[in-house]
């Protein structure tokens, strides 16, 4: 008798991708495990910070966009609801005038990602995270 292969639900795949993507965002600019909040500039260990989103995670078009997502301290991301206005200003300063508006427009688009697409993204960010964490950024 063949064994039944248990497949992950879509919500579990999305949670897994969110986790690996968040680790990447919070580590990509870390120096000795310390990162700076994108909106207020405070510094902390990457494990004590969040992956903040300029455009809400509900928008799949920008949910895993590396420009849309930046390190935020818990104070800015949770208690100050993401500091979206300052986030937008800082996006334009760092990546060029109009970046925030481009992300806003992109977030309004419809994106359909299959479970295979999401699983490939998980593997991509897992591999990057292995490299980042080995190097000790």
Position with higher pLDDT, 136 vs 88: 88
Q: CB within 8 A of 22, min separation 6: which ones?
A: 50, 51
Domain assignment present for residue 79? The answer is yes
Taking residue 91's Cβ as centre, other Cβ atoms within 10 Å add up to 22
State the pTM of this model: 0.91
Domain count, the chain: 1
pLDDT at 123: 97
Distance CA 91, CA 68 (A): 8
Residue 35 belongs to domain spanning: 18-127
Tell me whether residue 12 is in a domain.
no
pLDDT score at 76? 97
106 part of a folded domain: yes
> 29-52 pLDDT, tens per residue?
999 999 999 999 999 999 999 999
> Tens digits of per-residue pLDDT, 54-99?
999 999 999 999 999 999 999 999 999 999 999 999 999 999 999 9
């Amino acid at each position: 008798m063949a064994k039944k292969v248990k497949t992950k639900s879509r919500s579990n795949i999305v949670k897994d991708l969110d986790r690996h993507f968040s680790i990447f965002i919070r580590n990509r600019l870390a120096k000795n495990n310390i990162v700076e909040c994108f909106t207020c500039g405070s510094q902390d260990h990457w494990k004590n910070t969040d992956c903040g989103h300029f455009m809400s995670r509900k928008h799949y078009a920008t949910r895993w966009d590396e420009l849309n997502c930046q390190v935020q301290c818990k104070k800015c991301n949770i208690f100050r609801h993401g500091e979206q206005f300052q986030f937008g200003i800082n996006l334009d300063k760092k990546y060029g005038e109009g970046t925030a508006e481009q992300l806003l427009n992109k977030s309004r688009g419809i994106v359909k990602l299959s479970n295979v697409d999401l699983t490939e993204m998980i593997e991509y960010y897992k591999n990057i995270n292995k490299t980042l964490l080995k190097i000790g950024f």
